[in-house]
Amino acid sequence: MYTAVMIMGGLGVVVGIGLAVASKVFYVYVDPKVEAVEGELPGANCGGCGLPGCSANAQAIVDGKASPNSCVAAGDDVAEAIAAILGVSVEAKEPDIALPGCTYGVADADVKFIYRGVEDCRAAAMLGGGMKVCTIGCLGLGSCAKACPFDAITMGANGLPVVDEARCTGCGTCERVCPKHIITLSSVTRRILREYTTDECTTPCQRACPAGIDICGYIDRIQKGDLDGAVRVIKERNPFPTVIGRICPRPCEDQCRRRYVDEPVAINFLKRFAADHEREIGQRVQPFKAPANNRRIAVAGGGVQGLSAAFFAARLGYSPTVFEAADRLGGLLRTAISRNRLPQAVLDWDIDGILDMGVEARTGQVMGQHITVESLLDDGYEAVFLASGGWDSRLTRVGGAPLEMPIPGTALLLDLLRSKDPKAPACRGDAVIAGGGNMALAAAATCKERGATSVTVVLRDTRQDCPLTADQLVAAETDGIRLIFGAGIIRLSGQSDLLKQIDYMDLATGEIASLSAGSLFLASGRFPEMIFVRPDAEPVEGEDARKADAGWTGICPYKQPAAKGEIGLFADGDVLTDFSGAIRAIAAGRRAAASVHQVISGITPTLAGNVITPVSAIQDVDHVEDVRAKPRQIMSIVPKSELDAEADVEAGFTQEEARAEAQRCLQCGLICYQKDGCPSSQTRLDRPAA
């Protein structure tokens, strides 16, 4: 008995020592903060956060890789408790919703390959192929529905996923399992920031529209009688639907596939019909906007571009204020278009709709006189976007009014050469002339006469392609004028109301260099669109330190997709005088708002590598089959006896005409389109599973 006790005691000691050693050797440290966060999580391990369980999510939250409210199964109280553990606060979160991006299901496709035995989209994607198969179309096997942890996705009768927004938590599981990225997360911010890419389903009319409006989307809603829904789709990309419905040059209709059968769909007239419905009922139909972030931005210019930029900034959650020099908003829409073509009441309706989105406007404020870049930044605006307009802005100059200089130390070359005032515009310190060719040399001489310390001409052309002759170049350099070839200005910097420095890039090598500059003269008919912010500098010490010491920096928004790859001010694709159409100014306003959002978020404004451009290789069709010819609806003209000074010449579509015209739309996808019951030449190719 005694021996047994000793043996058992000895074994206990040995085991205890072994466990003690093992605890030291195999010890795993658990962060108490991670434990505390995991303790607040519900322990559902549903995977809705995109991570394998609550433990992994707790670790990601503490590591800063997930937000305190990343758990989709928990409520706001859990998020606030986790935020308290981390010592942070929780702000309003913009919801992400899964959004299917395909038009036609497999059952409706003309040519399809069916792989018997394959039940997963990822497997089918590896087996598919061929030019007659849509490269990005939905395969319809429902992998997204099977993977959704919240049963928020079902497969509809047409073989496409249907999302229940009430159930969808935006966890992204469906997005991760879809091999063709047909179903993706979407939000207001994502849609505003997005430029269409080659891996998306876009239609010819949508790609041709400068604003990128989902044309098939709003026409489908008109056909179904959902006019409010149609207006929301239009306003996703166009805050001036009633105006554009009257004055748009309609490039979308040139690309309508209906032209292969008879005539393009009256796309713009249908836009006007939907927008006029909103105006007639007198109730605003607004698109969704992100939660307010209480951050202010200023927009200098109350024309189409400036108002559009403010509209989209408000939808991104900002508090924008538009400063306009004239006594009324609207720019060229107000002053240069016949009122029988664009009645003032129509323009006012759309502008009031923009203000209703949360945009403040102040008129009679001239940039460079009543307000400046510096004063706006001092007033608490985090960014200032300049959209001062083109030649129309110069029409407001009367009598002896001073030259407009919205950018500190910057003027137009034309004003330098034609001004009769020898002191205006001033040539302070080192003068820089951007572009101008032969005029640049005359301007350089004027700058020297007016006391410039030095003169530098920055040209985008190479020395070989420059319009100046060899003799002119030699004479200029002999006179002490510095010439920089093949360069694009990318940044302006200054302090208070003074320009200090210009950064430019060598367009051949990509190298960046700087110039000291007190004056800048632009060889264009307008000031460029620019975003001004405080530079990334050390904080100013002391309560009495002047904010002006921080200075300011000006950069350009990202380029339009057609000019992808261009660099610097007034590159190819940039607007040199004014926009050729209001719809293009609207598109520029959205790009500006997106760029401001990126700059404030610490991101350099840029385009995606696979953004769609006019030369992108995209699947398309060059004819359509099984589509009957249907006559285009003709809009009636108002009798002359009923016209007054501000009456529309065109009467607009009736409800019956609009429905009939909407039914002509083929509801295209990338290479698919809607047939109308003609004898079908549809082919079906079946293949056994590989």
SS3 344: helix
DSSP H helices, 188-326, are 188-193, 204-208, 215-223, 227-235, 241-247, 251-254, 267-281, 304-315
At the topology level of CATH, where does 31-90 sit?
Answer: 3-methyladenine DNA Glycosylase II; Chain A, domain 3 (1.10.15)
Residues 548-567 have pLDDT tens digits of: 457 999 999 999 999 998 99
**Measuring CA to CA, which residue among 399, 424, 395 is closest to residue 409?**
424
From the CB of residue 446, how many other CB atoms can be counted at a distance below 10 Å? 20
Q: How far is CA 432 from the centre of its chain?
A: 32
Rounded to 10 deg, the angle between the 215-223 and 655-662 helix axes is 130
Q: How far apart are the first and last CA of the chain?
A: 73
Mean pLDDT over 238-267 rounds to: 96
Q: How far is CA 664 from the centre of its chain?
A: 30
Quick check: 543 pLDDT over 60? no
Residue 373: what pLDDT?
96
Q: How far is CA 310 from the centre of its chain?
A: 13
DSSP β-ladder status, 383-386 and 552-555:
unpaired
Span of 21-25, 203-207, 464-468 with lowest mean pLDDT = 21-25
Span of 107-111, 361-365, 463-467, 488-492 with lowest mean pLDDT = 107-111
CA angle 480, 484, 488 (to 5 degrees): 145
SS3 62: helix
Question: In this structure, which amino acid lies at residue 444?
Answer: A
For 262, which DSSP code?
Answer: S
Percentage of the chain exceeding pLDDT 70: 84
Within 8 A by CB and 6+ apart from 223, the residues are 659, 662, 663, 665
Quick check: 422 pLDDT over 80? no
* Sole residue written with tokens 């959650």: 317
Mean pLDDT over 671-690 rounds to: 57
Q: Rounded to whole angstroms, what are the CA distances from 111 to 131, 141, 160, 672? A: 10, 17, 17, 10
Question: In this structure, which amino acid lies at residue 113?
Answer: F
Residue 75: what pLDDT?
62
* Sole residue written with tokens 């502008």: 351
Residue 434, Cβ density class (10 Å: 0-12 exposed, 13-18 middle, ≥19 buried): buried
From the CB of residue 516, how many other CB atoms can be counted at a distance below 10 Å? 14
Task: Please report which confidence band the pLDDT of residue 15 belongs to, taking 50, 70 and 90 as the band edges.
Answer: low
**H or E segment and range at residue 598:** helix 582-600
* Sole residue written with tokens 């007198």: 282
Residue 50: what pLDDT?
62
Backbone angles phi, psi at 178, to 5 degrees: -75, 120
Task: Please report which confidence band the pLDDT of residue 546 belongs to, taking 50, 70 and 90 as the band edges.
Answer: very low
Residues 104-119 have pLDDT tens digits of: 887 777 766 666 778 8
**Measuring CA to CA, which residue among 407, 598, 416, 550 is closest to residue 489?**
407
Mean pLDDT over 216-238 rounds to: 96
Mean pLDDT over 436-443 rounds to: 89
Q: Which two tokens stand for residue 401?
A: 């009014």
Within 8 A by CB and 6+ apart from 241, the residues are 231, 234, 235, 271, 272, 274, 275, 278, 350
Q: Which two tokens stand for residue 328?
A: 């009324």
Question: In this structure, which amino acid lies at residue 395?
Answer: L
**H or E segment and range at residue 531:** strand 530-533
CB 532 within 8 A of CB 384: yes
Residue 111: what pLDDT?
63
CB 284 within 8 A of CB 357: no
DSSP β-ladder status, 410-412 and 454-458:
unpaired
Mean pLDDT over 516-520 rounds to: 95
* Sole residue written with tokens 């198969």: 133
Which tops the pLDDT comparison, 180 or 483? 483
- Please give the Cα distance from 250 to 582 (Å, whole number): 11
Write down the number of H helices and E strands in the chain. Answer: 24, 20
- Please give the Cα distance from 589 to 585 (Å, whole number): 6
List the 430-434 sheet strands across, edge first.
Answer: 410-412, 519-522, 430-434, 454-458, 482-484
List, in sequence order, every residue forming a beta bridge with 492; answer none if it has no partner.
Answer: 502, 554
Residue 428: what pLDDT?
87
Which tops the pLDDT comparison, 482 or 9? 482
Percentage of the chain exceeding pLDDT 90: 54
Residue 639: what pLDDT?
86
Backbone angles phi, psi at 246, to 5 degrees: -110, -30
Mean pLDDT over 93-103 rounds to: 82
Residue 537: what pLDDT?
41
Residue 545: what pLDDT?
42
Within 8 A by CB and 6+ apart from 401, the residues are none
CB 396 within 8 A of CB 485: no
Mean pLDDT over 60-89 rounds to: 70
- Please give the Cα distance from 106 to 159 (Å, whole number): 6
For 680, which DSSP code?
Answer: P
**Measuring CA to CA, which residue among 207, 219, 245 is closest to residue 667?**
219
CB 585 within 8 A of CB 308: yes
Mean pLDDT over 10-31 rounds to: 64
SS3 537: coil
- Please give the Cα distance from 43 to 54 (Å, whole number): 6
SS3 320: strand
Residues 576-626 have pLDDT tens digits of: 888 989 999 999 999 999 999 999 988 889 898 899 999 999 999 999 999
Residue 375, Cβ density class (10 Å: 0-12 exposed, 13-18 middle, ≥19 buried): middle
Which tops the pLDDT comparison, 634 or 8? 634
DSSP 413-466: HHHHHH-S-TTSS---SEEEEE--THHHHHHHHHHHHTT-SEEEEE-SS-TTT-
Span of 144-153, 285-294, 420-429, 596-605 with lowest mean pLDDT = 420-429
Task: Please report which confidence band the pLDDT of residue 683 belongs to, taking 50, 70 and 90 as the band edges.
Answer: very low
Question: In this structure, which amino acid lies at residue 459?
Answer: L
The residues spanned by each domain of the chain are 1-28, 31-90
DSSP β-ladder status, 430-434 and 685-687:
unpaired
DSSP H helices, 87-185, are 121-127, 143-147, 173-177
Residue 318: what pLDDT?
96
**H or E segment and range at residue 24:** helix 2-25
Is the pTM here over 0.95, yes or no? no
* Sole residue written with tokens 């930044």: 377
**Measuring CA to CA, which residue among 273, 278, 280, 249 is closest to residue 660?**
273
The whole-chain average pLDDT of the chain stands at 86
Residue 486: what pLDDT?
95
DSSP β-ladder status, 512-516 and 410-412:
unpaired
Residue 467: what pLDDT?
87
Task: Please report which confidence band the pLDDT of residue 498 belongs to, taking 50, 70 and 90 as the band edges.
Answer: very high
SS3 540: coil
Residue 685: what pLDDT?
39
List, in sequence order, every residue forming a beta bridge with 514; answer none if it has no partner.
Answer: 503
Residues 164-177 have pLDDT tens digits of: 988 898 888 999 99
CB 342 within 8 A of CB 304: no
Taken in order 152, 93, 594, 252, is the CA torsion positive or negative? positive
